[in-house]
Structure 1
Amino acid sequence: MQSTLRLKTILGHLRVNTAYHEQVEKLSQNSCCASAPLIQDKEFRYTRNCSLLSRTEKQFYEDNGYLIVKNLVSEHVLNSCRDHFLDLCNGVCPLQGMFLMKEPSLERQGATGEHLYYKVQDILYDNVFSSYTALPELLDYVQCFTGPNITAVHSMLINKPPDAQENTVHPLHQDLLYFPFRPADLIVGVWTAMEAVDSDNGCLVVVPGSHKNGKLHRHATQQFQTGAFKTFYGIKDMQDTEVVPLHMEKGDTVFLHPLLIHGSGPNRSKRFRKAISCHYAASECEIINVENNTEYKDVARDFEASASKSRGVPFDFATIMKLRCVVVRGSEGFTAL
């Protein structure tokens, strides 16, 4: 009985946020094409029939698995999200279900605030961060990959502090590892630079075209000087792989296919490297059974252990992902509980 009450309380916190849903509805009303019917583009596999993307852009995404749109997100939105992140780091405002993650090597050095935390995640239900995750200009591009019914499935703001160096590496991986729903072609990752990013402060790196074979590679947790980060999975045996660095300016946004192999380098500069990111899926996607799936075995176990510990009740991987999701445009689908 007590576990049931706890679960109901958690669902209440995660599902009932009137201010948040009012914000999403208000933002959606400002969209230029929120109700535009989209169908599969007959010429391209990985994009929908959307006029917002040029044929050249569609072909680039088709061939490479990523697409950069310059200056898509305004300074106002990004500065608001940055200031809110700093308030969270400094304990000025409550987390309200979000998770702040410390960089262990810097914690041992006595770092505090912005210099200590490398990520805040599960930001979808936050009223400030939703100005990004439900941004109409962003969703107009997202639906070129997902169609008109869009569910946000994972969200975070990533901060690479200076002086952490090799511990800020994110090994080569595929995002589909974290998403137990299909089809993969109706999922897209969105990553926006909150300041100039380059090879010195740890920009994204990609393996162009690696999405095309349709394979989800076997991943394992990676070892760093500070030990194993349970949430940092990397593809096994990916040494000496040629990558392309993505140098981006503030507001530039990259759209990533979930099977694209990518990662990020270390921050060896004296600058910060902040980015805000969200993954979206078509609401028509379906949850898959990962119980006997070798690719998902390790990550599912770690997610379930972490969620059960932090929330006080047991969760399975699929339920965890459903609770993280929110419909940001169109009709609800696979997240209905």
Structure 2
Amino acid sequence: MIAENRILEWNTDGIVVSKEQKQFYLKNGYVVLPKLIDQRSIDVYTQRFQDICSGKCPKSSQMVLMRDIVVAKKGETTITENNLNKITNFMEDDVLWDYCQQPKIINGVKDLIGRPDSCILAMNTMVINKPPDFGKLSSRHPLHQDLHYFPFRPSDFICCAWTAMERITRSNGCLVVVPGSHLGPLLEHGYPEWDGNVNSAYHGIKDYSPDLNMVHLEMDTGDTVFFSPLLIHGSGYRKAITAHFANDDYCRYLPKDNPEMKFVMEDFDKIIEKFMKKKGFDGSELSFHDFWAVRAKEICGVRSNL
């Protein structure tokens, strides 16, 4: 638990995150920093996203473009901004990778999960998009904890940075969080029992109280929320750029036979195999741990563990 961690410093101002903001994060599992990323950078990332959608600029080899399952089942093959939900693995795209190199992102991450000399890795990178509603709500992500997907620990040394690329409100799909839930355990996840389909790997917490104290995070363009991988959260989709970061000095991979990871590993094995076969490779050669290791990229420091 974060509250038990004696390595991280919570009682002094950080470079980006103030003492008061650190204390808020410690108690609630998230903190919003207004206008952390400037409008010019947001405009550049937005244009790059649009250029990738239109084919004006080629996607990098590891990049994955994800469409809503409803669109995919209709047999549509052309990628457009109106049918793309998400771009993942942008670590090879120099324009989008700039987000992970933003000093305020790097130092904000260090303030919360490290120190000035920590080796920080970006483990997961995404641009999230909100296409027009197809009426099926299949791309909603139910309440979940990101740690469910991660085969590395401890959670104290992992955090997400999530930046709004447009005005995000309760009415158009803002993030929903449960303050303080990061102090509890990793809960059991599965596919939600919703009518119709749901996108692959959109897992949700199986049993939770309907009385959870959920807070809607309305954000302006450039506002950034940092949050713990144990924080219970969910959302509709609006345009956002995000990355999960890990402190390589302390994080280690779990044993491959860890029972906690069984469900997500089995689900992702199918996704990985399908992706690798599209690339002309035998998908069975890449394990779930390998999947994470090849996507990890140094932000600062020398990688030695993940």
Give the 5 Å matches for 1:1-337: 40-41=7-8, 50-96=14-60, 97-106=62-71, 108=74, 113-147=80-114, 148-164=118-134, 166-213=137-184, 215-238=185-208, 240=210, 241-265=212-236, 273-284=238-249, 285-293=251-259, 295-311=260-276, 312-313=281-282, 314-335=285-306
Deviation track 1:165-218 (CA, whole Å, cap 9, x = no partner) reads 5334210000111211111100001100000001111100000000012x1111
Alignment-derived partner of residue 3 in structure 2:
none
Question: Where does structure 1 lack aligned partners over 5 or more consecutive residues?
Answer: 1-38, 268-272
Pairwise CA RMSD: 2.2
- The answer to which of 244-253 and 314-323 deviates more is 314-323
* CA positional deviation for 1:62: 0.9
Instruction: Tell me the matched-pair count.
Output: 286
Q: What secondary structure is seen at the aligned counterpart in 1 of 2:122?
A: strand
| Distance across 2 between alignment mates of 1:76 and 1:43 | 32
| Distance across 2 between alignment mates of 1:221 and 1:243 | 21
CA separation of 1:93 and 1:161: change in aligned 2, threshold 3 A? same
Matched residues, percent identical? 37
* Corresponding letter in the other structure for 1:72: L
Normalising by structure 2, what TM-score? 0.87
Question: Where does structure 2 lack aligned partners over 5 or more consecutive residues?
Answer: 1-5
Normalising by structure 1, what TM-score? 0.79
* Corresponding letter in the other structure for 1:262: H
* CA positional deviation for 1:53: 2.5
CA separation of 1:104 and 1:308: change in aligned 2, threshold 3 A? closer
Q: Conserved in 2, the CA contact under 8 Å of 1:98 and 1:123?
A: yes
- The answer to which of 67-76 and 215-224 deviates more is 215-224
CA separation of 1:236 and 1:290: change in aligned 2, threshold 3 A? farther
* Corresponding letter in the other structure for 1:149: C
* CA positional deviation for 1:127: 0.8
* Corresponding letter in the other structure for 2:104: E
Q: What secondary structure is seen at the aligned counterpart in 1 of 2:169?
A: coil
* CA positional deviation for 1:118: 0.5
Q: Conserved in 1, the CA contact under 8 Å of 2:166 and 2:220?
A: yes
- The answer to which of 101-110 and 235-244 deviates more is 101-110
Q: Conserved in 2, the CA contact under 8 Å of 1:167 and 1:225?
A: no
* Corresponding letter in the other structure for 2:231: L
| Distance across 1 between alignment mates of 2:203 and 2:216 | 20
| Distance across 2 between alignment mates of 1:154 and 1:254 | 16
Alignment-derived partner of residue 12 in structure 1:
none
CA separation of 1:51 and 1:89: change in aligned 2, threshold 3 A? closer
Q: Conserved in 2, the CA contact under 8 Å of 1:105 and 1:226?
A: no
* Corresponding letter in the other structure for 1:282: N
* Corresponding letter in the other structure for 1:302: D
Q: Conserved in 2, the CA contact under 8 Å of 1:184 and 1:258?
A: yes
